[in-house]
Chains A and B, each alone.
Chain A
């Protein structure tokens, strides 16, 4: 019953006219930026962070909820209409959705993805609302050693378990951990890896890293291989509305996609790729129209899109209750919290319930707004997609650097942005995953301080990590997840065959 009361309170916060306006602006901006090709939800949030600098925390988090869902919606529009998924979670959508658009059924593809996202987002947000208080009850009992162990699990699952190569994933993670060391050590006040540069004493800014890796890196990468690809925008022809047949074929995939997406997103396992591909292969197996798969089957859009959105809401569970970001987008959301000095976790639920529950309620509202706004506005988004590539990427770079210039207009900070851009370009070229770098930068310092706190309490005895049952279990899980891909090399080969 507590959940209902808290949620009702959150709704009361979220429906204040000013907050509704923030949600609307967030949804609109999020979709507008997310729809640009090559820009995924993580970058959308990173690029739009400066817009919220001057707002109060409540309003800006509500705007974030809108940006988050809007960015996801924009990404699937791009995947359907030009077959350039901004992130790997939209790949399944691009597979079938783009074929549907080519066959003149772009309207129903967009509709099933929008309605499916709404259904999945709503169910998953209800799941979040009920799961969160329960997890918070559990998490208040966590000691520092348990938090440290939990972060080890997140490190391993984000970088090693689900990538193509655990070595490359871990390399990315350790680059992030190294960047996390830069700056003044909070416990002793000594500078690490600052090399006498005063700007480095504050540490590496998460937004600088994310915007450099994602936006500048992506622009450099696309520019370097411009001669390879020719993008083609599919016009939306015919009716936007789904026929009775489309509805009949869509509703079960929506629900099944949600069932895949939410639990996998809620586990600290990172990434929406797994649930979307699980959903895609399930729909392919269960469909009555197997001949349409690969040629534009509506189930292949409905299921993965629902799974994608449900898992996005699922990643908010560990983010809000434990302060644990398990995807690049969640990491950017955490950066948004941190710019107000807020640390998500069990304490935030106790200290600022209005904030947390207002945010959860805003997720419902943002979802609703997307459904009502975006289908009628699809013509506008299509026009955004038609911006010529030179202007598009020039504009993206201007916006990307603008965020840094507005926050810290120093030569050092801008050089770091450019340096991270080159790093992002090289990582893309040599196929290193990007998200573990961002997660490493954010979680590394937190994990270190938890470990040092745990060891200070135990008077330096490292056995404290194994004496707590929670910590021992989590460390065992982390170890298994770390070793599994090396042991089960055959699994990797199996995965490669299925693609």
Chain B
């Protein structure tokens, strides 16, 4: 975000901190909005809507606290980050969810995650990694399915086994 910024160590407004404070305030608003739809069932004491409101108040106070910290630049120094590997892993997770969701099965889904994560950590041997991933996830599938009798989602590959 503020990578390579020479002014990073000076005390100045931290934009990321402002965003965090805004998100907390938004979360508090969602809690109150959701709690309005609840009816209090209890005759005495607290209904289900009380706790969300209490937590929302806490979140609102913390949003203010985080906002002040951000204005003062009180957030700890951050190291520069490389967004590419993060995006790669997230693509891997999205592939996993998509493959499971469309019935592609456990083996294909986890293999996709394995290969993208490995690539995110700098491996470029996609073919070798794919073979490793397929063998490993097949073994895991067999171990779970046959030994622990836990059912993992089955797709075209699993039905061949």
Contact = CB atoms under 8 A, between A and B. Distances in A.
Nearest to A172: B62
Chain B CB within 10 Å, residue with most, of A53, A216, A448? A448
Interface string A139-176: 00000000000000000000000001101101100110
A219 B100 contact: no
B140 A460 contact: no
A460 B110 CA distance: 52
Nearest to B148: A54
Contacts of B44: 455-456, 459-460
Nearest to B111: A398
Contact of B81 (A170, A391, A429): A429
Contacts of A227: 82
Contacts of B118: 390-391, 393-394
Interface string B74-97: 111011111101101110111011
Most buried by A among B41, B51, B106: B51
A298 B47 CA distance: 57
B96 A414 contact: yes
Given A225-B81, A422-B90, A398 B59 contact: no
A159 to B, nearest CB: 11
A378 interface: no
B76 A188 contact: no
A452 interface: yes
A393 B41 contact: no
Nearest to B153: A409
Contacts of B120: 223, 390, 393
B24 A394 contact: no
B76 A431 contact: yes
B114 A193 contact: no
A229 to B, nearest CB: 10
B69 A167 contact: yes
Nearest to A407: B150
Interface residues of B, number: 73
Given A192-B34, A225-B81, A391 B106 contact: no
Contacts of B55: 174, 177-178, 181
A358 B123 CA distance: 47
B16 A430 contact: yes
A415 interface: yes
Interface in A314-356: none
Given A178-B59, A220-B86, A224-B86, A190 B113 contact: no
B132 interface: yes
A181 B28 CA distance: 13
Given A188-B48, A192-B35, A430-B20, A224 B96 contact: no
B46 interface: yes
How many of chain A's residues touch chain B, expressed as a range?
Answer: 35 or more
B24 A171 contact: yes
B78 A430 contact: yes
B160 interface: no
A206 to B, nearest CB: 18
Nearest to B150: A406
A405 interface: yes
Given A401-B96, A459-B44, A390 B31 contact: no
B89 A397 contact: yes
Contacts of B90: 220, 418, 422
Nearest to B57: A174
B113 A405 contact: no
Interface in A441-499: 448, 451-452, 455-456, 458-460
B122 interface: yes
A171 B122 CA distance: 34
Given A50-B150, A228-B79, A395-B114, A448 B121 contact: no
Nearest to A195: B34
Contacts of A174: 24, 55, 58-59, 62
A416 to B, nearest CB: 10
A314 to B, nearest CB: 29
A193 B113 CA distance: 30
B78 to A, nearest CB: 6
Contacts of B83: 224
B150 A53 contact: yes
B35 to A, nearest CB: 7
B138 interface: no
A398 B78 contact: no
A5 interface: no
A477 B15 CA distance: 36
Interface string B117-153: 1111111000001001100110010001000111011
Contacts of B93: 216, 397, 401, 414, 417-418, 421
A264 B155 CA distance: 51
A425 interface: yes
A398 B121 contact: no
The 7 closest A-B pairs by CB, nearest first: A455-B45, A390-B121, A223-B85, A188-B41, A394-B117, A185-B48, A460-B44
Given A53-B150, A405-B106, 5 more contacts: A170-B65, A226-B82, A401-B110, A402-B144, A406-B150
5 contacts: A178-B55, A178-B59, A398-B113, A398-B140, A458-B45
Interface of B: 16-17, 20, 24, 27, 30-31, 34-35, 38-39, 41-42, 44-48, 51-52, 55, 58-59, 62, 65-66, 69, 74-76, 78-83, 85-86, 88-90, 92-94, 96-97, 100-101, 106, 109-110, 113-115, 117-123, 129, 132-133, 136-137, 140, 144, 148-150, 152-153
Interface of A: 50-51, 53-54, 164-165, 167-168, 170-171, 174-175, 177-178, 181, 185, 187-188, 190, 192-193, 195, 216, 219-220, 223-228, 388-391, 393-395, 397-398, 401-402, 405-406, 409, 411, 414-415, 417-418, 421-422, 425, 429-431, 448, 451-452, 455-456, 458-460
